[in-house]
Structure 1
Amino acid sequence: MRYFLLSIGFLTLFFSCKAPEARRPVSISSGSFIDESINRNKELSAREEARIQKIIQQDSSNNYITSDGGFWYYYEKKDTLATTKAKFGDIVNFNYDIKDLNGDIIYSEKELDTVNYAIDQEDLFFGLREGLKIMKEGEIVTFLFPSYQAYGYYGDNHKIGTNIPLISRVKLNKITKQSTKEN
């Protein structure tokens, strides 16, 4: 009898232990918020690009270039002889201003002052970082940036609001090479 009770207890203990089951979620998300966000951003980008294309079409005096990064620019002063462009870590000295697409000044060149910037090592909005890499010393370039290349959704928390495309005139004064390789 003792073995019988012991074996029943053992079997009860053995069959009552089972692996834990994963709990199922109470609600299931379909991802519709992400899909809606993607669609809103595509529409915003298309509207901004249409505005920029309209500016380009109305400005027949300048030859606009489309960058690989998704912004447009033209040269006011171009150096056709120099080959040196800024690379990672190089220090560039430049002046610039920022305007909205209507041409209204947000930050003047005087207000922003002369900037010394280490390429890709300091904080600067994405489009301008990329724009400085295509410039040579002494050049003056005007850039048209869609909002995702400028300050995007957050703005600059001061004068530039949410999703504002920008125009920036940049004068690259000097490139100081920091790398030992010849660029």
Structure 2
Amino acid sequence: MRNFLYFILFLLFVVACKSPEARRPEQRSSGSFIKESAERNKKLYKKEEAVITKIISQNKTTEFESNPNGFWYFYNVKDTVSTLMPKFGDLVTFTYDVKDLDGTTIVSEVENGLQKYQVDQSNQDLISGIREGIKIMKEGETVTFLFPSYKAFGYYGIQEKLGANVPIQSTITLRSIETSEEN
């Protein structure tokens, strides 16, 4: 009996000294949601690009340019003399509107008012297309941009005015550029 008691104590000692094992997750994520989302977004972009390309091809009188950042634009008023364009830290003043691709006004220039924006430093609530578009403009120019939804208001849209994933056009007039002391 005494040997049996020692044997039990020895087993308890061996079991108690065992190192803890890592718990395994109950569910493993395969990343399929992200892959599916990326595929959906690629299809959406191709569809929007086709619509914008069709608009451009139907408008024979306007000379559109494409930007490597993923949008298209044309000049309403172009400055061929000045070379000053906004750079990092410059304070720009501008006006803009938001329209659907058919030209129906969603948010007018008057509703937006005069905007001030410090290039690449402001946390101002501007869509990425406008922030990038301003950088290719010169003071006094007016440019109309065609933005796919990912450069515009994307998934969120504008509450009660613009639905989700809708491409837009926006006409921006760059009123002034105040260069920062760093430039």
Q: Above 0.5 in TM-score?
A: yes
Q: Which runs of 5+ in 2 are unaligned?
A: none
Change in CA separation of 1:26 and 1:15 when aligned onto 2, cut-off 3 Å: closer
Q: Report the CA distance between 1:109 and its aligned residue.
A: 1.4
2:44 and 2:136 map into 1 onto residues whose CA distance is 27
Output the amino acid matched with 2:129: G
Query: What is residue 125 of structure 2 aligned with on the other side?
Result: 123
Query: What is residue 144 of structure 1 aligned with on the other side?
Result: 146
Q: Report the CA distance between 1:27 and its aligned residue.
A: 2.6
2:102 and 2:180 map into 1 onto residues whose CA distance is 38
Q: Report the CA distance between 1:6 and its aligned residue.
A: 7.6
Q: Secondary structure at the match of 1:169?
A: strand
Query: What is the CA deviation profile of residues 104-155 of structure 1, one whole-angstrom value per residue up to 9, with x for unaligned ones?
Result: 1101112222111111212211000000011000111000000000111111
Q: Percent identity between the aligned chains?
A: 52
After superposing the two structures, state which structure 1 stretch, 18-27 or 5-14, moved more.
5-14
After superposing the two structures, state which structure 1 stretch, 155-164 or 60-69, moved more.
155-164
Query: What is the CA deviation profile of residues 45-101 of structure 1, one whole-angstrom value per residue up to 9, with x for unaligned ones?
Result: 111000000000011111111111100001111111211111122111111111001
Residue 89 of structure 2 is aligned to residue 89 of structure 1: yes
**Counterpart mapping for 1:132-171 below 5 A:** 132-171=134-173
Q: Report the CA distance between 1:177 and its aligned residue.
A: 1.1
RMSD: 2.2
Q: Report the CA distance between 1:103 and its aligned residue.
A: 1.0
2:13 and 2:132 map into 1 onto residues whose CA distance is 68
Query: What is residue 57 of structure 2 aligned with on the other side?
Result: 57
Residue 61 of structure 2 is aligned to residue 27 of structure 1: no
After superposing the two structures, state which structure 1 stretch, 25-34 or 50-59, moved more.
25-34
Q: How many residues align?
A: 181
2:91 and 2:175 map into 1 onto residues whose CA distance is 11
Output the amino acid matched with 2:82: A
1:150 and 1:32 map into 2 onto residues whose CA distance is 26
Q: Secondary structure at the match of 1:170?
A: strand
2:145 and 2:23 map into 1 onto residues whose CA distance is 54
Query: What is residue 69 of structure 2 aligned with on the other side?
Result: 69
Q: Report the CA distance between 1:39 and its aligned residue.
A: 1.4
TM-score (norm 2): 0.88
1:18 and 1:130 map into 2 onto residues whose CA distance is 60
1:153 and 1:166 map into 2 onto residues whose CA distance is 13
